[in-house]
A and B are shown apart, each in its own frame.
Chain A
């Protein structure tokens, strides 16, 4: 879906005043909303359907006289609530981050870091590579602060973990589940919308599964990500891009990377899956007009529950022809799990991925047994999810699992300790993985 034809609702998260349709003047600096990012009183609020206008109840003088740096509160006002409510879009950001537990996010909960301390802003350009939108104003990486060898001790485990950093993104180990504080939406079927008689059922997290305006939902809490090779780039479908209607699934945003690309690392993602309309003849995704422009609005889906009218209007606003026939297609979006980094002790242990270390033999497969190091202890150091289970999180099915990131799906023949890594043969003991 898109803000086009729905501006008055969507632009309540625009840092400006009055973007209600395509006549908005992007050169008029007086329409900039400084306060939404620089409020420190916590009282500034935009009225949700007001095209970015502030709530009339806000005391603008008081807010203006107390401006300061942006904060988790100001950034979160939009970024924690994308998609209509808390944690709907981002699986790793929610209002919980206003006052997070240390175990949920060590940077914000332990060290009280504000967003702009990592997303260091210059001239109102804010770095960070989003998975969901193409716009970028600079790259940003954990290693910018933590260095290329971020496991700071000098012991055998640190040595191996630092080597892992050449192939694995930090959050693969350090944020082993997403939506760990608040359920996130993982399925949104727009085709089911419109049934005003259907009563929403609550799932085990207390989240509703239906809204007649929006369709059917599935939520996930403390869920295991999927892991993909990612070299930093994304492949995207834009409005007007032809898609394969028979493909079964269309990826609107997917990471680019591969097993044989030295720049690629294994990174965690939430896949947002959904069903949305596509033009049955022209083969592109459609933009429906959802939010009524005014009382006289004759086409908005949320007023008339008529997809045909809503799509005709939306596509006219988008400036693209609509054949008159729509069909429902399944779409996926990969969303990076970049925030909610857990404390070091809660990272995945070696055995959580490497099945070969779960038995009697561990590091002594390659290393001589050493009395100074307890190999078994090293291999099991980290989380096994039992602590999270105690905290009431829905992860009991993950306790004691191994091959957590699914090596075969990533292109390995199996556990790389046994079958070899991406670019190097194992130095000792074993035949190379490619040998007959």
Chain B
């Protein structure tokens, strides 16, 4: 409590300091805050294209060719199918089919060409071809895997299960790539409007205390982090690999 009183006394001093200094420096250091007008319509083109593809629900493929995986692998190789034939190198794994049931996680960024180049076997993921002779040899996951337990194809995995079984099983078998949820997905942050309870015009540390009410572990983690301490392990600094004292707040110096 004593500490808080001490700190409150500091606030007017700091506020005054802000005024004095900002008046004196207005011309010298225009804060970079507002000079770049942000365009609310800005979009990243590759991401937008992938988002567009993820919104599509393609016609359901109800029948596929009965073919062993090795047969299919050999056949695709005989056809000369490979990385060079890839149309879209990047996908967002997301679909209205999954969204209609749940929405806890954001879409997965999937580097199609990278995976294809590493695996060098299209048939691993594109494991069945549509029975329709006019259809393309390889189709996207969501052409065959849509809602689970469909009456016409009760034995076929739903899209979410198909993604998870394919990705996680391969990452496990190859000992490569993430296997935890957050390794692939961004987790949706729950709406905090009802969760956060604060008086009007709170002090900044009242906000922090409110955050810590539900996230005490995050506070403990933060107290040991470099963004808090401005010092820490210097594992990649010659002659100082074992030191934990160095940092901007202690020993570092620069020419800025």
| Residues of A participating in the B interface, judged by any CB pair closer than 8 Å | 1-4, 8, 14-18, 20, 25-35, 37, 42, 45, 47-51, 53-54, 56, 60-61, 63-69, 80-86, 88-89, 95-96, 98-99, 102, 106, 108-112, 117, 123-126, 129, 132-137, 139, 145-147, 149-150, 152-154, 185, 188, 190, 211, 213, 232-240, 252-253, 256, 272-276, 285, 287, 291-292, 294-295, 331-333
Contact = CB atoms under 8 A, between A and B. Distances in A.
A113 B137 CA distance: 32
Given A67-B192, A125-B225, A235-B239, 17 more contacts: A4-B249, A20-B14, A32-B222, A32-B223, A45-B33, A49-B21, A50-B15, A53-B14, A61-B198, A110-B46, A117-B109, A125-B226, A152-B117, A236-B238, A238-B246, A239-B251, A240-B251
B154 interface: no
Contacts of B208: 17, 29-34
20 contacts: A15-B228, A48-B18, A48-B21, A48-B22, A51-B14, A60-B198, A60-B204, A65-B196, A112-B44, A112-B47, A152-B83, A152-B117, A213-B25, A236-B234, A236-B237, A236-B252, A238-B251, A239-B250, A252-B253, A272-B254
Nearest to B116: A152
Contact of B14 (A8, A69, A275): A8
Nearest to A284: B253
Contacts of A37: 227
Nearest to B51: A112
Nearest to A276: B255
Contact of A61 (B35, B200, B250): B200
A239 B192 CA distance: 44
B238 A111 contact: no
A34 B248 contact: no
Nearest to B15: A56
A16 B193 CA distance: 23
Contacts of A275: 255
A124 B218 contact: yes
Nearest to B32: A86
A27 B222 CA distance: 10
B207 interface: yes
Given A102-B44, A211-B28, A96 B36 contact: yes
A16 B226 CA distance: 12
Contacts of A109: 44
Contact of A1 (B29, B193, B196, B254): B254
Interface in B99-143: 109, 111, 113-114, 116-118
A238 B252 contact: yes
Contacts of B255: 1, 188, 190, 252, 272-276, 331-333
Chain B interface size band reads: 35 or more
B233 A137 contact: yes
Closest 8 CB pairs of A and B: A274-B255, A112-B44, A152-B117, A134-B234, A29-B219, A110-B46, A238-B251, A112-B47
A85 B29 contact: yes
A292 B225 contact: no
B212 interface: yes
B87 interface: no
Interface string B185-202: 010010011001010111
Residue from A4, A16, A85, A234 with most neighbouring chain B CB atoms (10 Å): A16
A136 B3 contact: no
Contacts of A111: 44, 46-47, 50, 90, 109
B14 to A, nearest CB: 5
Residue from A149, A233, A292 with most neighbouring chain B CB atoms (10 Å): A233
A110 to B, nearest CB: 4
Contact of B233 (A67, A96, A136, A294): A136
Contacts of A272: 254-256
B248 A2 contact: yes
B234 A136 contact: yes
Interface in B1-60: 3, 7, 10-11, 13-18, 20-22, 25, 28-33, 35-36, 38-39, 42-47, 50
A17 B4 CA distance: 12
Residue from A34, A110, A129 with most neighbouring chain B CB atoms (10 Å): A34
Contact of B30 (A35, A85, A133): A85
B229 interface: yes
A230 to B, nearest CB: 11
B152 interface: no
Contacts of B18: 47-50
B197 to A, nearest CB: 9
A33 to B, nearest CB: 7
A98 B247 contact: no
A84 B22 CA distance: 13
B45 A125 contact: no
A18 B211 contact: no
B21 to A, nearest CB: 5
Contacts of B247: 133-135
B232 A235 contact: no
B84 A256 contact: no
A154 B83 contact: yes
B89 to A, nearest CB: 8
Contact of B237 (A47, A126, A233): A233
Contacts of B10: 18, 20
Contact of A135 (B43, B47, B246): B246
Contact of A3 (B31, B200, B223, B248): B248
Nearest to A24: B249
A64 B206 CA distance: 11
A213 B229 contact: no
B83 A2 contact: no
Nearest to A231: B236
A132 B236 CA distance: 12
